[in-house]
Amino acid sequence: MLYGFVKDLVRFKGMIFELARRDYQQQNQGSYLGFVWNYLQPLLYIGVLYGVFTLGFRQGAVLDGLPFGLYLLSGMVCWLYFAANLSSITGVISAYSFLVKKVDFRLSVLPFVKLLGSLLPHVVLIALLLVLASLSGYPPGVHSLQLLYYYLCMAALLIGLGWITSSTSLFVKDIRNAVGIVTQFGLWLTPIFWSIAQVPQQYQWIAKLNPVYYLVTGYRDSITGSHYFWQRPEEGLIFWSITLLLLALGTMVYRRLKPHFAEVV
């Protein structure tokens, strides 16, 4: 299915971009500021966290050799995109129910529509973070190009998870609530506010089983130039093992449930 998925992305690229454009335009539609909220909400959220933890509780603190504010923000930008998209992808088939009975369309590409529709605000946040990092003494360089690799990693993980959650949520409505709870707890179980170095070495492998750990650490490495991705082979192996397993499981779940989608949407 993975090869077929890539073929479908190419085949339906025109429709995918159109759906993504509409999805972007419809976000916060009807409000006075409209799409401006797509940028304002994460900026305000990150700004509050930065103010509370950097200027308040942890003023002047350093974590893993980085200013705590930069350490926090580089992880938070990654997490916000992941959590928001996991939530939206979970309901993507319901949101595009009019396509379920459309014969000449692959519903499996819908998670990618959500990823694409929310990409521009994510890119803007990354650009602002790179400016902040530069002002903090960590200018962009070759290492910054790794952001593309880690974004593709995140997309693969979200698509695998999305095939599972979007398919099952049609039949078990509690899945959406469960995803919300997981993302709330996941924020604190991922090294965004804390460092894995603070965990006793014999238990660090547990933290590394969280695939978002690899993404958050990768974003941080790319923004600050701490490491290149090939310098983290163990974490990379764990991440891709879990992600490929989720993609395989997502394929099976999607194929098993797809014939029944029209009965429940």
**Whole-prediction pTM:** 0.90
Q: Which residue in this structure is represented by tokens 């959220």? A: 45
Parent domain of 15: 2-264
- Mark residue 28 as left, alpha or beta (left: phi above 0; alpha: psi -120 to 50; beta: remaining): left
Q: For 252, what's the count of Cα atoms within 13 Å in the CB-facing half-sphere?
A: 5
At 56-86, the pLDDT tens digits run 655 557 788 888 888 989 999 999 999 999 9
Domains in the chain, number: 1
Q: What gap in Å lies between CA 135 and CA 148, rounded to an integer? A: 22
Q: What gap in Å lies between CA 72 and CA 54, rounded to an integer? A: 9
At 94-141, the pLDDT tens digits run 988 888 877 677 888 999 999 998 898 899 889 989 988 998 899 999
Q: pLDDT band for position 15 (50/70/90)?
A: confident
Kind plus residue range of the DSSP H or E element containing 63: strand 62-63
